[in-house]
A and B are shown apart, each in its own frame.
Chain A
Amino acid sequence: MRRLAVVLVVLSTGCSGLKTYPADAGGNLAVRAQLDGAVRATLHVHRVDAQCRTEYRGSVPLERPVALLNVPAGETSYLVATFDTSSFLSGSRSTNAGALLRPAAGRSYELALRYRDDIYDVSLREVDARGTSREIPRRDLGACRGS
């Protein structure tokens, strides 16, 4: 699926309409963000049903190096990271990257987001009960619809 990024040269302010996704210490997903100073990142969580339809669950502004979220095990979720930049001359810009995740019970996950010098990277790892970690290939929503 083709992703859409948005450049808003002039952006009117207004209500964001985003609801907060709960982030707490008991979560099975650790989100680590390493960002350039001028970049703001937000993680948006969607539930995905068997027909690959999404239902927005909430968002977490990534203002701390690590955020812990509880993503339901046994359900497919679609995690969308947005990177927002803004400057007087070039306006506001937003780019995003999505990843499907179906957590297994008893396992934890790490989502690493990096944005440096206009290059970003999103990677996902699964950690089992023994602490063994493996990378999970990032699949966007098109992979769900194509399967």
Chain B
Amino acid sequence: MDATGGPSFRIAGEIGRGVVEKVRARLADRLARGILDRDEIARVSTMPLRTFAGGDAASEIFRRCCVTWEVDRVPALTSHRPLIGPLLVAIKRVARRLLRFQTEAQFSRQRDFNWNLLLVLRELLERDGRRG
């Protein structure tokens, strides 16, 4: 909520009339009923985005690791063959669905492992950069 009291948005013309007041009344009601509190608003609103706080070379190493951590992110299915291409794509799609059933659990475990490793790696690379 704004300390100055100015509207945080604008809808031009007749349709916008009274919308700011209604929105504020709804929010005030939610606060009054304890559905939401100002601490939560402040905590979320000021939450920083954690990118990379190191040098360019270390940043590039980290970026490359970020490319492949999602092992279950699969490229779009395509075929460059002119006539049988669509059939091949359809076959690949079915095969992928069947394989997904087999590999989903493993992918999920690998994905979790990679994610945690990525966060540790970022910490180490940043710490290394701070040491100079």
Q: Do A and B bind each other?
A: no
